[in-house]
Each structure stands twice: as structure tokens, then as C-alpha cells.
Amino acid sequence: MDDALNKIEISVNSATCYKNNNLIFEDINIELKNGDFMLIIGPNGCGKTTLIKSLCGIQKLEFGNILINNLDIHSKNSEYIENIIYLGHKNSLNNDLSVQENLEYLSVFDSSVGSNNFDKIKNAMDYFNIYKYKDYMISDLSEGNRKRTSLARLVLSKKKIWLLDEPLSFLDNNILDSFVSLIKRHQANDGIVIVSTHYDFSKSISNVKYLKMETK
Amino acid sequence: MINILIKKELSLYFRNLNNIFLPLIFFFLIISIFPLVLGPEKTLFNKIIPGVIWITAILTTLLTSNNFFKEDFNAGIIETYLTSDVSIEIVLFIRIIVCWIFTCLPIVIFIPIVSILFDITFQSSIVILLTLVIGTPILISIGIFGSALTLGLAKNNILTPVIIIPFYIPVLIFSASAIQSVSAGLPYDMQIYILASLLTLVLPTMPYLLKYTLEISINN
């Protein structure tokens, strides 16, 4: 890919969101460019998840807009959807499929993974130490291993913008380091990482921006 | 891509064999209730059995499609669908077809046995089979549409049938009319053509409609 295609700027302008007439968040302004890492921090119920969902376009805003390279994410010719990968706090895993089958299936929804990706999936499972569980059904795994399976999609994907909602829940400290180094690698590859969390794990990460949200 | 999708759907159905056999058992149970309720009068029963088969088929499709997206919604897979850069219309189309194959096709296959059990004439049973083959994919598509529509609501068990049964009426009218025509010795091809045209209208448009509906449902 040439440089012009790689360059990404996200700007969120006075975003305000209501759900059933309840104010979720208001007047959020964000500016992000390649290599940035943004931490959305706040107490329960302050709208972190809703903000992440707005950023990936599945939650509509009441006021304000979200632009990527100066195009609204809801406009027709926006390249937004080709650039984002969203990992919600729900793992998006099918209980009746094995770890490997789930990753195979989920990589269908990500055109950046490409086809013939058996080795890539093996690498991704190795990265999060779940290769030994590859034939286990998701329903037989612990919550932590489900989270690891979900995060393994990040190793597979070549998308530039990561939107992660509470990626640390259920993860142990051993895997946290590999997760942080994965984020650093992504930053070095001109990626953008947006994370909502309770726990600030950004000590060793550079280019960190904070967004502190408060309960309304 | 498509082979992974089909493989996934098939392995999900084959791992839960309940999903295949329960609709069929349900179908037979409901059908066998009618003789118990109506008594052994054969002339009356011969008259209403095609209608009974259709009502039972409707109940089966309602029950199987009611919670079609529920599990995926709870797991967050619907969000992955909607943030994906591949066209999820193909995914939804495959899922509709596979759902039909595993819930309605067994019923269609067992229609000859039902016909023998209830002494339906060969001509009538052919038309019943034909209307079911064309009609049930429409019913399943509409049922799945209803389940997408009520996805965001917490308690939707009875709401979905209330919303979608009115949409079943056109299919029912033409199926019933075809069956009545054949038992009266009249031509029935007009009704079959209309059913077929409904199918070709509903089936290709449904994935697009579903995607749009899921977007709205997830926004709530």
C-alpha cells in the first residue's frame, strides 16, 4: 500500500449520544492520527461502550459527527468500514464451534486476513497461548481463554484502526505483556488503537492520549 | 469464504441434532392432535387435512425462526456482522437457506408419509408438497425478518409471531387456493406461479432487508 492510502486521521467533533432520551455522553472531541493510542477511562455507566460503538458506526449520534480522513463514517464512500476492527466486550464467539473454527469463521468477516490462512490462525493462537485448546469448544473454555481467542483476531487482522472495548477483562498478567507488545507493534505499523478500560495499562506505551469520561 | 460459511452452518446443525429432529417431531405431534380433537369422522377430516398441514408448517417455522438471531446477538456476533467489510448479505442468505434445509425440508420429505397416514389423494398430496416447497422458504425468510426486528427487545416471545403472521397471509391464500382447486378438479398453475413469484421476490431481497433491520435493532 502506498503512503497516501495508509494515512488516517480520525476526528470526533462534539459527539453527543442519547439512548431512550437518556444522555449517555456529550460534547466528546477526539483527534487521532497514525500511531496513536487512545485510552478511554471512566467509571461504570459513563458511556465508554457506547462511545466505542459510535466510533465503529453501529450506534448513531444525536449531535456531532465522526470523520475519518474528513469523510463522515456514515457517508457512502467512506473507507471507514475497511479500516476498523471492533472487539466488543462480548467476545463474538460461537459456543458450539472450536477455537480454531471460530477464528476461521471470524476471519471471513475481515477481508484483510485474506484466504488460505491456516498458518496465520495457528500463529495467532500461538501468540495468545491457546494453540493447545484449538479443538476445544468455546463453551468448554474459561472466560480468560475466550477473551484470548477473541483478541487473537487482532494478530490475524491487518486493519489499521482497532476499537477494543474492555479487552483486559478476565486476562491474567502473563498475557497482558504480550497484549501490550501487540499494541506497540501495531502503533509501529502506523495503526491506531482505541481502548476503553478501567485499568490504565499504558505505562510503557508511547503516543498515549487520554479521554476521561464522567457519569452524567 | 462461502465454503467456510457453509461448513460452519452445517457443523452447527449437525452438532445439535435437536435442531433437525425437533421441528419434525413437533410437526408430527401437532398433526396427530387434530384427529384426537375432531373425532374419527373421515369426510370432515379429509376436507381439512391440507389446511392442517399448512397450519402445522406455519407453527413450525414460527418456532424455529423466532430466536434465529438471539444467540448471535447475545454473543456479540451481530456486531461483528455489522462492523465487517465483507458483504454480510451473502452470510445472511446462506443462513436462511441452511435454516430452511434443516427445518422445513424434513417436513416436505415426510409429506408423502403424512399423505398415506391421512389418506390424501395423490393429486392433492403433490400440490401440498409443491406449495410447501415454494411457500416455506418465504415463511422462514419472513420469520427470520421478524426475529431480527424484535432483537433489541428483552421479552419478544409472543411479539414476533404477532408481527409476522399477517405477512404470512398472501402465501396462505394462494397455497390454500391451489389445494382447493386441485381437489375440485380445477387448474392450479396460476396459484403456483404467484407463489413462485413471491419466492423470487422475497428470497433475494431478504438479506438486504435483514441487514438494514439488524442495524436498526442494534442501535436500540
Residue A66 β-bridge partners: A12
Give per-residue pLDDT as tens, B120-135: 889 889 999 999 999 9
> Which of A50, A90, A102, A153 to substitute to test the interface with B, most B CBs within 10 Å?
A90
Chain B interface includes A212 (CB < 8 A): no
Structural domain for A175, as ranges: 3-212
| Interface size between A and B, measured as CB pairs under 8 A | 80
Q: Which three cell numbers stand for residue A50?
A: 457506547
Query: In angstroms, what CA-CA distances link B117 with B23, B32, B35, B88, B127?
Result: 19, 10, 11, 43, 17
Å between B130 CA and nearest CA of chain A: 35
Lowest mean pLDDT among B90-104, B118-132, B146-160, B177-191: B146-160
Q: How many CB atoms lie within 10 A of CB B193?
A: 13
Chain B residue closest in CA terms to A79: B85
Query: Which H/E stretch holds residue A164?
Result: strand A161-165
The model's pTM: 0.90
Q: How many domains does one find in chain A? A: 1
Q: How far is CA A131 from the centre of its chain?
A: 22
Question: Nearest CA of chain A to the CA of B216: how many Å?
Answer: 9
B3 has a pLDDT exceeding 90: no
- ipTM, interface predicted TM-score of the complex: 0.87
Cα A86 to its chain centre, rounded Å, is 4
A78 to chain B, any CB pair closer than 8 A? The answer is no
CATH number at residue A98: 3.40.50.300
**Which of A84, A92, A108 lies at the smallest CB-CB distance from B1?**
A108
- Nearest-Cα residue of chain B relative to residue A97: B12
What backbone phi and psi angles, to 5 degrees, belong to A212? -95, 125
Among A20, A86, A95, beta carbon nearest to B79: A86
Burial of B35 (0-12, 13-18, 19+ CB in 10 A): middle
Asked if pLDDT for residue B200 goes beyond 90, the answer is: yes
CB contact under 8 A, A92 and B80: yes
Q: At what angle do helices B105-117 and B18-38 cross, to 10 degrees?
A: 30
The residue written with cell numbers 426475529 in the block is B147
- pLDDT averaged over 10-residue windows placed end to end, chain A, 216 residues: 65 88 87 89 86 88 87 79 87 90 89 80 89 90 90 89 88 86 90 88 83 81
**Is B88 in contact with A109 (Cβ distance < 8 A)?**
yes
